[in-house]
Structure 1
Amino acid sequence: MAVVVDQVPAKRVFGLAVPALGVLAAEPLYVLVDTAVVGHLGALPLAGLALGGVVLSQVSTQLTFLSYGTTARTARLHGAGRRADAVSEGVQATWLAIVVGIVVLVAGQLLAGPIAQALSGSQEVGSAAVSWLRIALFGAPLILLTMAGNGWMRGVQDAVRPLRYVLAGNGMSAVLCPVLVYGAGWGLEGSAVANVAAQVVSAALFVRALVRERVPLRPRPSIMWAQLGLGRDLVLRSLGFQACFVSAAAVAARTSTAAVGAHQVVLQLWVFLSLVLDSIAIAAQSLVGAALGAGDERQARGIAAQITRYGLILGCALCVLFAVVSQVLPHAFTSDPDVLGQIPHAWWFFVVLQPIAGVVFALDGVLLGAGDAAFLRTATLVSAGAGFLPLIWISLVLDWGLAGIWTGLSLFMILRLAAVVLRWRSGRWAVVGAVR
């Protein structure tokens, strides 16, 4: 007999997803403002900002376990009715953020020069990047504090306050950036100071919210160690993504100038739509974790099916939308005829992949909410090693260009789709209990 499943109201899902999308989009929007301000200083400061920003962004990219891992653990305890214990996970994630953040800050100060010079290949650009990076790195522990705060608040299904806190910091910095860059005459360094100021405001708001919960604030190494165990799987998974996309950029750059420009345009649209789809996944993490924590496997399965359906519908809608604007939207990014001529070689892969991405991202959220990070790590690394990476480098040897690169991405997504769907259907992820 078929297992009966429960679902939750759509309003509850999107009540978590929409604020999460705001948090996810806040940082890229701030970067756009920062870029626009610094861009008027000239090509060299802009290049320094671009390079320094890439290095700093690796902090949040590689350490997402402080948000995603904390959400999974906190949601289970919240679902079990143990709010104080759930918030205590946030306390330990905050201590972990401080420790890891200090390590990143010290290592970054020591390695900023060599890394910037190695990446830039230019003494001038490297120097500009280092001058920005040495200041911006003081925000690294604060970035991690904000990630930990996002994690525990999502776990207790409070998605609105994180949005307010992040917008407060980024909004203030967006105002402060032109004042420091132009008004105070600090130039590129003024942008870095504004960046740190944003992180101070957001991190302070998250810490204040944690203190107001009135739970013990002492560090508990056993819990932090358990969080690091989950973090290890998520970091390895993230490194798999980075290896793929860095390789794709390297191969595109070796194809032609027009190809790398076209790849950048389509890839940035891919990244933006990933944020949209990831907001549904974040709702899944919170809701699935809470259901399993409450011991309700039936509801967890129902939410998984519901979220997967939403992801598929959203992916199909995005597929249709970007097919319709295929002749118009690329012109908003470039007027170069050679780049425009290359974009279709990647564009239709990007369009057709949206429904697949909708399902993959949704089920990623379901499995992360269930604490099934080890499976996701293995699935991602195998998909990268068997699909994306071989085709990327074969496309370089055989001169397949952008079509080869995006065929690799397509195979990567198809392999991930097969893995997460089989895992979902198996039900082995649905382990009930306050702690997995």
Structure 2
Amino acid sequence: MSQTPQESPSQHREVLRLALPAFLALVAEPLFLLTDSAIVGHLGTPQLAGLGVASAMLLTAANIFVFLAYGTTSVVARQLGAGNRDGAIAAGIDGTWLAVGLGAVTAVLVATFAGPICQLFGASPEALGHAVTYLRISAISIPAMLVVLATTGVLRGLQDTKTPLIASAAGFTSNIVLNLLFVYGLGWGIAGSALGTVIAQTGMAAALVAVLMREAARHHVTLRAHPARILGAARTGVPLLIRTMALRAVLLTTTWVAAGLGDVPLAAYQVSATIWSFLVFALDAIAIAAQAITGRTLGAGDIARTRSATTLMTRWGVIGGVVLGIIVLLLHTTLPRLFTSDPAVQSAIAAALIIVALSQPLSGYAFVIDGVLIGAGDGRWLARAMLVNLLAYLPLILGVHLMGDWLLEDGSTRGSDNAVTWLWLAFTAFMAIRGVLMWARVRTDHWMVTGATR
């Protein structure tokens, strides 16, 4: 019997070829923070709590521009699918120049206003001092972080996920070495951790830019900046920017609520959120494959293959979520000891990880569909859906904020455990709402627009 598109082994191989290197590259970012958390955590609970505030703001400052990767992947993949490789590379260069400009402006703003920004979270005075130190230094790395996003998006659109993997592996390894040297060897504390991350991110950016320059030279594509095209790339990214800002508002609000619960819940949330981010990027590897494959197949006008690939990758996302959830459940009492020696924080992390583990299949589904729709260039719908998601989430997380005194009234370890558990239950509800919205959209055909441009 002939194979249907859903059963094609070539599709499985294609997804695996793109997703496996993407997974290993994607986990580099949370591994940067996991490394920082593990090293800084043993300096003390205030340092770890401060890192929680600073890292939330640093990731926000960089990741609100994630359209530099996602939007570039979609545009480049569509051009490639339509047979225009030179146009694909040119679009990638425009995105990289845009990253340089946005990164420079953002770095100056974050460094200048690091103190007021960190004060917004209401952390303790000691934790606040560490947060400002880390954020002010690490802001130097923001241009490099955005360039890494843009150049990675170009290579993914060109169906190359191996090169970003090599750069990420080198960056992660150097980050560990530099953090250990600066924090413990030279005694620079949390400032040393920030500086190590700056150097590692800058090295990654330089390596990926060199690859893009070589690709441009091979196809005789100019590296000059074209202001009109760069502005066009910026306009194309606006819907994804809105979508990402709404998502970051969700994460920042959650961190704000955690900070209001005290240093122990905030430190526990920092670690559990970093572990969640690691799991997110693991599952997002399939979403990256979805972006690249969806963009290319729609660019080539192949709707049937787009639909079958979506079904396949969604199934992989859910299965991946189940596997990761089981692993976290088995390790939920072991992992906390890697990050802190404070028994209260260890207990709260363990409680949080139970909810994190149980939510992973839902996360796998939502992230893959998100990747499919980004690859399809369905940014306007994604922006509207995330705004709806944010409005639905705010009453839930603010309810946890209002329950804070009641949850912590006995001042015991159990109180901190309960507080962090409720925090993660609210966030899981956010993911459930997101999953429902994604399901409703992907069931239709409205997002499947074919051609080199949407």
TM-score, scaled to structure 1 = 0.86
1:297 aligned residue: 303
| Alpha-carbon separation, structure 2, partners of 1:64 and 1:36 | 26
1:430 aligns with 2:448: yes
Letter in 1 for 2:225: P
Structure 1 unpaired stretches of 5+: none
- Relative to structure 1, the CA distance from residue 342 to residue 42 in structure 2 (aligned partners, 3 Å threshold; closer, same or farther) is closer
| Alpha-carbon separation, structure 2, partners of 1:251 and 1:101 | 28
Letter in 2 for 1:435: T
Name the SS of the counterpart of 1:219 in structure 2.
Answer: coil
Name the SS of the counterpart of 1:171 in structure 2.
Answer: helix
Contact 1:109 1:134 in 2 (8 A): yes
- Relative to structure 1, the CA distance from residue 168 to residue 307 in structure 2 (aligned partners, 3 Å threshold; closer, same or farther) is same
Deviation at 1:172, TM superposition (A): 3.0
Letter in 2 for 1:353: S
| Alpha-carbon separation, structure 2, partners of 1:95 and 1:317 | 39
Q: How does 1:3-402 map to 2 (within 5 A)?
A: 5=5, 8-37=10-39, 51-116=53-118, 119=121, 129-181=131-183, 188-213=190-215, 214=217, 215-252=221-258, 254=260, 263-264=269-270, 266-323=272-329, 349-386=355-392, 388-397=393-402, 401=419
- Relative to structure 1, the CA distance from residue 223 to residue 417 in structure 2 (aligned partners, 3 Å threshold; closer, same or farther) is same
Farther-moved stretch of structure 1 (326-335 vs 413-422): 326-335
| Alpha-carbon separation, structure 2, partners of 1:10 and 1:338 | 45
Deviation at 1:252, TM superposition (A): 4.6
- Relative to structure 1, the CA distance from residue 222 to residue 332 in structure 2 (aligned partners, 3 Å threshold; closer, same or farther) is same
Name the SS of the counterpart of 1:236 in structure 2.
Answer: helix
Contact 1:391 1:407 in 2 (8 A): no
Contact 1:16 1:283 in 2 (8 A): yes
| Alpha-carbon separation, structure 2, partners of 1:270 and 1:342 | 15
2:416 aligned residue: none
- Relative to structure 1, the CA distance from residue 103 to residue 284 in structure 2 (aligned partners, 3 Å threshold; closer, same or farther) is same
Contact 2:325 2:361 in 1 (8 A): yes
| Alpha-carbon separation, structure 2, partners of 1:414 and 1:186 | 42
Instruction: Work out the number of aligned pairs and report it.
Output: 432
| Alpha-carbon separation, structure 1, partners of 2:422 and 2:135 | 35
Contact 1:291 1:299 in 2 (8 A): yes
| Alpha-carbon separation, structure 2, partners of 1:344 and 1:191 | 25
Farther-moved stretch of structure 1 (199-208 vs 84-93): 199-208
Letter in 2 for 1:281: A
Deviation at 1:263, TM superposition (A): 4.7
- Relative to structure 1, the CA distance from residue 131 to residue 385 in structure 2 (aligned partners, 3 Å threshold; closer, same or farther) is closer
The alignment-based identity, stated in percent, is 39
Question: What's the CA shift string for 1:117-176, capped at 9, x where partnerless?
Answer: 555766766555555544432322111111111000000011111111222233334333
TM-score, scaled to structure 2 = 0.83
| Alpha-carbon separation, structure 2, partners of 1:96 and 1:408 | 36
Name the SS of the counterpart of 1:74 in structure 2.
Answer: helix
Question: What's the CA shift string for 1:329-364, capped at 9, x where partnerless?
Answer: 667667877667767875554344222221111111
